[in-house]
């Protein structure tokens, strides 16, 4: 995670790099203020280190998974389900300096010691902290029904602007119009797991519409096991949009 641990960086499409360290493998995404180092952790959870700050997305899976990750400065939580809002993990990691950004439905489930650190962000709202603009965007299931696992407005996807480099985090969603109409996304984390979100065909079709420069399939464990992310990559590559699909290890069985 730390820049001074980088041993080898291999340049890939559009100057983005894959970097190996003595402790973890992370991908380097260049910005005007230094690289964002991305470290997959588990399922929908990952860490980003930028400008000496650490961001955790949906920390989940137990605090032992985070023992080599620096104490977070920012924590993004997308939804109320246990693989996103994992109180055991949140209460087991060092959150003494963390700002938590989450939708109201998540804040209502936080204990007071964590709620006091939280910023309530609804779809369409934004906040700026650590010189990073964070925009909450919709994530939901189609068709919209009263019994939807992910109703529109409850959870957040996020767009982070790192001094001009934009990172999109889908959260649990399908190929909704708000995703397909995104513009200027540099890096996208896109979910794909039935029956909770969407299949690889929907995910590939959406990615080919909004054309991120780099896309990470993540959150791809469903009721029938792991989605075929290799097939997802082939579908995106076949679209010939020069999108760098990065397959990384998100599950210990891979």
Output the domain CATH number for residue 41. Answer: 3.60.15.10
Whether the pLDDT of residue 10 is over 70: the answer is no
Tell me if 251 is assigned to some domain. no
- Asked if 205 and 175 count as a contact pair (C-beta separation under 8 A), the reply is yes
- Structural domains in the chain (count): 1
Question: What is the mean pLDDT of the segment spanning 76-89?
Answer: 97
Whether the pLDDT of residue 168 is over 80: the answer is yes
Tell me if 252 is assigned to some domain. no
Whether the pLDDT of residue 106 is over 90: the answer is yes
Tell me if 253 is assigned to some domain. no
Whether the pLDDT of residue 170 is over 50: the answer is yes
Tell me what pLDDT residue 131 has: 95
Tell me if 127 is assigned to some domain. yes
**pTM to 2 decimal places:** 0.90
Tell me if 139 is assigned to some domain. yes
Whether the pLDDT of residue 135 is over 50: the answer is yes
Tell me what pLDDT residue 25 has: 52
Inter-CA distances, 145 with 34, 137, 140, 151, 177, Å: 43, 19, 10, 8, 16
185-235 pLDDT, tens digit each: 999 999 999 999 999 999 999 999 999 999 999 999 999 899 999 999 999
Tell me if 254 is assigned to some domain. no
CA distance 220 to 46: 14
Please give the residue range of the domain that contains residue 26: 3-245
CA distance 169 to 158: 5
Tell me what pLDDT residue 253 has: 85
Which region among 24-33, 63-72, 104-113, 208-217 has the lowest average model confidence (pLDDT)?
24-33
Tell me if 46 is assigned to some domain. yes
Which region among 30-34, 119-123, 130-134 has the lowest average model confidence (pLDDT)?
30-34
Catalogue the E-assigned strands of 170-205. 187-190
Whether the pLDDT of residue 7 is over 80: the answer is no
């Amino acid at each position: 995670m730390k820049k001074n641990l980088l041993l080898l960086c291999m340049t890939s499409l559009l100057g983005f790099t894959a970097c190996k360290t003595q402790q973890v493998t992370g991908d380097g995404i260049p910005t005007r203020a230094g690289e964002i180092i991305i470290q997959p952790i588990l399922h929908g959870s990952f860490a980003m280190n930028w400008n000496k700050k650490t961001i955790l997305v949906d920390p989940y899976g137990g605090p032992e998974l985070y023992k080599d990750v620096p104490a977070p400065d920012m924590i993004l939580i997308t939804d109320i389900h246990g693989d996103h809002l994992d109180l055991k993990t949140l209460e087991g990691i060092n959150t003494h300096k963390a700002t938590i950004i989450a939708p109201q439905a998540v804040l209502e489930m936080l204990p007071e010691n964590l709620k006091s650190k939280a910023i309530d962000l609804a779809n369409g709202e934004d906040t700026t902290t650590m010189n990073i603009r964070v925009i909450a965007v919709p994530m939901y299931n189609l068709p919209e029904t009263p019994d939807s696992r992910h109703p529109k407005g409850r959870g957040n996807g996020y767009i982070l602007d790192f001094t001009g480099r934009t990172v999109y985090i889908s959260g649990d969603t399908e190929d909704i119009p708000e995703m397909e109409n995104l513009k200027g996304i540099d890096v996208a984390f896109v979910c794909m797991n039935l029956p909770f979100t969407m299949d690889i065909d929907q995910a590939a079709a959406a990615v080919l519409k909004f054309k991120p420069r780099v896309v990470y399939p993540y959150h791809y464990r469903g009721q029938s096991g792991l989605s075929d992310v290799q097939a997802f990559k082939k579908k995106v590559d076949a679209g010939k949009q020069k999108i760098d699909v990065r397959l990384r290890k998100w599950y210990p069985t891979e």
